Structure 1
Amino acid sequence: MSTSTGAATTSRAAEHSSSPPTGGIQSASASQKPKVVAPGTDKFGELDNDVVLHSSSIPAGRPQKVRDILLSPPVVRQWFENGTLHREAAAHVPARVETFFDLIFIGLINRLATAVLDKPGGDAIARFVLTFYPAWAVWFEARRYGNVSGTDDLMHRTWVLVAMFGMVGYIGNASAIVLYPSTAAEHDFSSSTVRAAVAFWLVLRLVHACVLAAQSWRMPKMRLGLAMWSAQIWLPMFVYLPLCWVTSRKAQIAIAAVGMSIDQLPLDKLLFGVVARIVVKHMSHSSVSSTATTTHQDTDREGEGDWNKEKNLSPKLGRFDSPPQGMCLPAMNIEHAVLRMGGFLGLIMGTTIVGLVYTATDGQVGASSRWGKSCLGLMVAFGVNLIYGLQTERMHKFQHALRRSWWTAHLFLWLHWPLCASAIIMNAAAGRLANLDEVPNAVVWYWGCGLGFTVLFMTLIASLHKDLRNWRSSRLPRFARLGMGFCCALALVLAPLAAGKVSTMGWLGIGASLVWVVILTETFGALARPSAKDEGPG
């Protein structure tokens, strides 16, 4: 679940005269040599690669044909080639079908959270984690495809519709799995639901792998990068495949855990690096040239430019290297990725209202305790959504994790799945706390740990960005603000130790208080000192 990342400053670039790679990559002629833009900065921070902007896939002034709308040629919107990042001149905004898929996906995932509350306990959480991640992997690949190759045509929308059909079947069967059945009949039923859920999931991944394989066949210069992306999907499929006939519950759990671990590795980037080394070694022996290096302007983390020679091998720690000569590596559009990730978390927090809304009964008319608990739950949901964007919005000069290095980019994307899983558990527990005066201790643990890990993962994500300001320029140093986030997260995780001694309104109040402590610390602590000089990184 990893891809190369990159973005550019659109205000500083001239548009490339060639079109993006639709069924192949077109190169500019000698008289139309692309105007290269040196590495610069935008709101996401510094960019290490030179940038070329290409035109849209349908040139301006040409009337759109029906086939262009219904079935567009395969396209890669952004890619690395010869040390240069090629990207679209126009901003890449999520298509409406992507937003619709997000809404459907969140509605389906909430069914898994509801199943957790049916029989709360450690077994239910283990089942949720093992069944949530495969669903997340499907959503993540759909988001990634929309980022890199989404065309919003009939084929793209059909693929999304097929994904919805498969997800309905997967969630319906996965939510019925009993982790430790007590009777033989229950074991047989649970085993059949495991096989059905795995079958739905394998079909979904198979369809996506076939789409990538067909696209790589149509786009020769993108073939290696797309093939490695397809391999990223195939390998976990082979790991999960034995679940179709294995009946031992311990073996099923072990296989699912191994499959999760493998699927979270940046296999496509690692495989691309290995294959690139082989290709470069072959080229070095067969080519007249004595070296397989290119020279391009390099920009270090602080923005100081110098000229260095970089080998066209696998990505090294801390930067994005170029693919071998003649090959292209699909890249992620950073604006689209950040917008989709932030929007998805916002939708998750917005679903909190489903459990908080109520119909007044006798004793709950007006500003009652039930109304107060709903307000506290909304304060938590609003605050969590605010924290996610606040920690970068307050940094006026920073380098985004997606741009800082390949490993921070991978961690940024990876941390979102436990973040969203924690937020979903927290939402489910918030509804129980708001609707009931007494709840099982397990629900209190769901609330405290769900909210605590949500704050923890958001703080970890914020720590991946690099603040380029002097640490003395803010009223409270960034490490102190991050430390407050870690402390509040730890307090929320440990708070359920007092389960049984605090009312349901008290638990909601504790959560709201600590979340807003993080918000106030970040907001006022990030304000600039009146006499501070904004020089150098913090």
Structure 2
Amino acid sequence: MIQRKPRIRQYWHKGALHREEDERSASYSELFWDLIFVAVISNLGFMLTSDISANGLQRFVLTFYPMWRLWTDTCLYINIYSSEDLVEKFLLLWEMVLLIVMGTHASDIFNSTAAIFISSYVLARITYAFLYIIYATYIPMFRIHLITTTWGIIIPSSLWFAAIFVPQDNVVFMLWASVIFELFWYGFVPLYHRLRTKHPANHIHTRDFKLIDEPTLTMDSAKSSPPSPHKAMRTKGTEFSWKWTDMFSILKITEYRVALNIEHWSERLGLFAIICLGESISSVIYTSLNKYPDIFLAKAILGLVIAYDLHWIYFDVDASRQYQHALRRHTFTGILFGLAHVPLDMSLIAFGSSLGRIVTLPDFPDAEHTPKPMSLKEGEESSHEFSTPLAVLFCTSLAIAMYCMAIIGILHKSLDAVDCTKLSKASRISLRFIIGTLYILLPLAHLSSLNLLITIAVLSMFMVFVETYGRLKRNAPLFATKCGEYVNEIREDDEEDNIKRYIRWRWGSANLNKRRFSTGFFRQNKRDKNEKINGYNSNNDDNVDVVVKN
């Protein structure tokens, strides 16, 4: 289809979450969009390691953040408003073109390439502002939210654009002011609307549920009842006509609020972290001219071990067997969860790019008689000394990554009993802070590149072992003697006593609001499990989403 009618894929209304029936996952277009960032991130990492200084670090931050902002804008648009039509595909192509322009002109954003870099970024963001104004016309019940989002784009974009014309000494100040305002808007507006809402039923712990359109409709008769469009999707009527005051109703509270699809958003953040971590994988690959294993190969293997341990820690979340995600826990924890990924992603890029330099560094004994990697032999000259700035960049980036993962682990709420696991959550998370602090102190030891990688690999493996062992159920055997032994007991003990229900619907060409119902993400209590599931199984559209970490 060339163009579909604008729509909201999930939203809050008077404490009830209306959402699509089908589960969301990253589309092929989103994965191709991510592929553009693979090349862009590689370029940013190369520029960072080429100039390891305060000015180089500042340039890295001020070039990475706009690109991360564009990635976030696109993901949020697809998460909430995606129509999956031809217009949306060309929109993604347009954003990709502008992103390529930014990536190729990120080398000197304070001087010669500032105009084209900033202009491309502003144009990419203003495109979404223009799109949201159009949506505000077609979806009037969400007009206030769309206008608020539009102002959140226009105001900082104006600051970015003004940086082109200010004196060179003030460019950095204008860029930092724009970044701070965007981060403030990203966190303040959702939190403001959440705290000012008059419906406490919006809290995640709501158990009672009532249909909005037909309060007397039962679950058994829901499928047989004639569907009626929800009034949130109506676009006709004088009560929905534009008023000039609507353009300035930024913080007005309405009963309709758009909602994030948490599964899709958390998946997208995880995939972007994998892209940033992928910089380290590409860095350990080099062309060897030695017919025997050498120190370069040993350092590459150690670098791979460290990168895999980071991946392991990140996707183990807070090392709990059961947890409530930060995005579900509260608006405040959800905002911090998203913001924590900004320094995390930057630190992963810095780690990967510096790792590539360390792997090919010939600072070990008898290096003169060892064939150099192809990258060094054909042009890139390398000192035989392990420079302090490179060691500091490598270790500090690893430390920041560990601190961010520790903070993310704190934001998630553990649902394990106090005496459920072998080690408490506080002990496991504290270890991340301790290991991160040790990473920062390692450059003071003035180790060689090989010894530094060995030390960090041992520390990271120790942390992975402790967290993996600590999250095991107390008194559980380390090795099962039979297939499936102890699994059923763990799953039964991991059940929770709350259940959340919400409205879902299926998008279709005939009726955009054909309702279907399902249960939410909370686990049921063991004593109520059979009774509730048997009751819901009478409706074939019901399911129970369980988050269990084995």
Give the TM interval when normalised to the shorter protein.
0.7 to 0.9
In 2: Cα distance, 1:117 partner to 1:433 partner: 11
2:387 is the alignment partner of 1:462: no
**2:124 paired with 1:204:** yes
Residue pair 2:80, 2:258 contacting (<8 A) in 1 also: yes
Output the CA distance in 1 between the equivalents of 2:286 and 2:161: 44
Q: Tell me if 1:389 matches 2:311.
A: no
1:298–1:160 Cα change, 3 Å: closer
Structure 1 residue 447 and structure 2 residue 394: aligned? yes
Inter-partner Cα distance in structure 1 for 2:195 and 2:399: 42
SS of the residue 1:79 aligns to: strand
Offset at 1:239?
Answer: 2.0
Amino acid at match of 1:226: L
Q: Which residue of 1 aligns with 2:418?
A: 471
Q: Secondary structure at the match of 1:85?
A: strand
For residues 172 and 411 of structure 2, the distance between their equivalents in structure 1, rounded to whole angstroms, comes to 32
**Equivalence for 2:142:** 222
Question: Matched residues in 1 for 2:55 and 2:339: separation?
Answer: 24
Of 34, 37, 41, the match for 1:109: 41
Seen in structure 2, the aligned counterparts of structure 1 residues 447 and 297 have a Cα distance that, compared at 3 Å, is: closer
Query: 1:270 and 2:189 equivalent?
Result: yes
Q: Report the CA distance shift for 1:173/1:298 in structure 2 as closer, same or farther (over 3 A).
A: closer
Cα separation, 2, equivalents of 1:334 and 1:299: 13
SS at structure 2 position matched to 1:87: strand
- Residue 277 of structure 2 contacts residue 352 of structure 2 at CA under 8 Å; is this kept in 1? yes
2:317·2:409 contact (CA, 8 Å) conserved in 1?
Answer: yes
Asked if the contact 1:228/1:269 (under 8 Å) is kept, the reply is: no
Distance in 2, matches of 1:453 and 1:119, equals: 20
Q: Measure how far apart 1:526 and its partner are.
A: 0.9
Aligned twin of 1:341? 269
Looking at structure 1, the residues matched to 194 and 345 of structure 2 have their Cα atoms a distance apart, in angstroms, of 34
Distance change (3 Å), C-alpha of 1:298 and 1:104: closer
Equivalent residue, structure 2, for 1:147: 79
3-state SS, counterpart of residue 86 of structure 1: strand
Aligned residue for 1:432, secondary structure, equals helix
Residues 1:507 and 1:153: Cα distance change in structure 2 (over 3 Å): farther
- The Cα of 1:336 is off from its aligned counterpart by 0.4
Tell me how far 1:432 sits from its aligned partner.
Answer: 0.4
- Gaps of at least 5 residues in structure 1 are 1-67, 178-189, 281-292, 308-322
- SS for the counterpart of 1:152 is coil
Name the counterpart of 1:518: 463
CA RMSD of aligned residues (A): 2.8
The structure-2 alpha-carbon separation of the partners of 1:298 and 1:376, relative to structure 1 and needing over 3 Å to count, comes to closer
Q: For 2:193 and 2:303, how far apart are their aligned partners in 1?
A: 49
Task: Specify the alignment match of 1:134 in structure 2.
Answer: 66
Match of 2:516 in 1: none
> For the Cα contact (< 8 Å) 2:36–2:96, is it kept in 1?
yes
Residue 430 (structure 1) aligned to one of 348, 351, 355: 355
Matches of 1:395 and 1:340, distance apart in 2: 21
Q: In the TM superposition, what is the alpha-carbon distance from 1:534 to its structure 2 partner?
A: 7.3
1:101 Cα deviation from its structure 2 partner: 0.9
| 2:204–2:330 Cα contact (<8 Å) kept | no
Q: Are 1:480 and 2:427 matched, yes or no?
A: yes
Offset at residue 262 of structure 1 (A)? 0.9
**What percent identity do the matched residue pairs reach?**
26
Which residue in 2 is equivalent to 1:315?
none
**Match of 1:407, SS?**
helix
| 1:412-470 CA-partner distances (Å, limit 9, x unpaired) | 00110110000000000000000112342211111101111111111111110011222
CA distance change for structure 1 residues 226 and 435 in 2, over 3 Å: closer, same or farther? same
Which of 335, 341, 350 matches 1:410?
335
Q: Secondary structure at the match of 1:375?
A: helix
Structure 2 CA distance, aligned partners of 1:252 and 1:102?
29
Q: Is the CA contact (8 Å cut-off) linking 2:190 and 2:331 kept in structure 1?
A: no
* Alignment partners' CA distance in 2, 1:517 and 1:271: 39
Question: Is contact 1:404-1:465 (8 Å) kept?
Answer: yes
- The answer to whether the 8 Å contact 2:321/2:471 transfers is no
The SS at the match of 1:402 is helix
Please name the residue that 1:260 is paired with. 179
CA contact (8 A) 2:133 2:146 kept: yes
1:401 is aligned to 2:326: yes
CA 295–142 in structure 1, closer or farther in 2 if over 3 Å, else same: closer
State the distance in 2 between where 1:349 and 1:387 align: 12
- Give the letter for the 1:380 counterpart: I
Structure 1 residues 530 and 216, CA gap change in structure 2 (3 angstroms): same
- In the TM superposition, residue 265 of structure 1 has moved relative to its aligned partner by 1.6
What is residue 502 of structure 1 aligned with on the other side?
447
User: Is the CA contact 1:150–1:156 (under 8 Å) kept in the aligned structure 2?
Assistant: yes
Residue 97 (structure 1) aligned to one of 12, 15, 29: 29
Deviations 1:356-407 (A, max 9, x none): 112221xx32332111111111111111111111135x42332110011111
Residue in 2 aligned with 1:527?
Answer: 472
SS in 2 for 1:483: helix
1:225-264 matches, within 5 Å, as 225-249=145-169, 251-264=170-183
Q: Is the partner of 2:259 in helix, strand or coil?
A: strand
Q: 5 Å matches for 1:170-185?
A: 170-177=102-109
Paired position in structure 2 for 1:45: none
Aligned partner letter, 1:228: T
Distance in 2 (CA, whole Å) between partners of 1:272 and 1:125 is 31
1:216–1:305 CA distance, 2 compared to 1 (3 A): closer
Structure 1 contact 297–305 (Cα < 8 Å) conserved: no
CA deviation profile, 1:167-191 (whole Å, cap 9, x unmatched): 12212222234xxxxxxxxxxxx52
Q: Could you give the per-residue CA deviations for residues 237-295 of structure 1, whole angstroms, max 9, x where no partner exists? A: 1222221111233x211111111111112458638957997xx9xxxxxxxxxxxx668
Structure 1 position 497, deviation (Å): 2.2
**TM-score, normalised with respect to structure 1:** 0.73
Q: Which amino acid aligns with 1:135?
A: M
For the structure 1 residues 334 and 294, does the alpha-carbon distance in structure 2 shift closer, same or farther, using more than 3 Å as the test?
closer
User: Which letter maps to 2:422?
Assistant: R
Task: Describe the shift of the 1:372–1:267 C-alpha distance in structure 2 as closer, same or farther (beyond 3 A).
Answer: closer
> The residue matched to 2:137 in structure 1 has which SS?
helix
- 8 Å contact kept, 2:402–2:432: yes
Indicate the residue corresponding to 1:47 in structure 2.
Answer: none
Partner of 2:302 in structure 1?
376
Using a 3 Å threshold, how does the CA distance of structure 1 residues 297 and 227 change in structure 2: closer, same or farther? closer
Which stretch has the larger CA shift, 485-494 or 342-351?
342-351
SS class of match (2:316): helix
Q: Tell me if structure 2 keeps the 8 A contact 1:173–1:197.
A: yes
| Residues 202/416 of structure 1: CA separation in 2 closer, same or farther (3 Å cut) | same
User: What residue is the counterpart of 1:357 in the other structure?
Assistant: 285
Distance change in 2, residues 1:82/1:493 (3 Å): same
The separation in 2 between residues aligned to 1:299 and 1:111, in whole angstroms, is 42
Question: Alignment partner for residue 85 of structure 1, among 7, 17, 22?
Answer: 17
Q: Mark the CA change 1:297 to 1:132 in structure 2 (over 3 Å): closer, same or farther.
A: closer
- Contact preservation (8 Å) 1:163, 1:204: yes
- Decide whether aligned partners of structure 1 residues 360 and 155 sit closer, same or farther in structure 2, where only a CA change above 3 A counts: same
Distance in 1 (CA, whole Å) between partners of 2:469 and 2:441 is 27
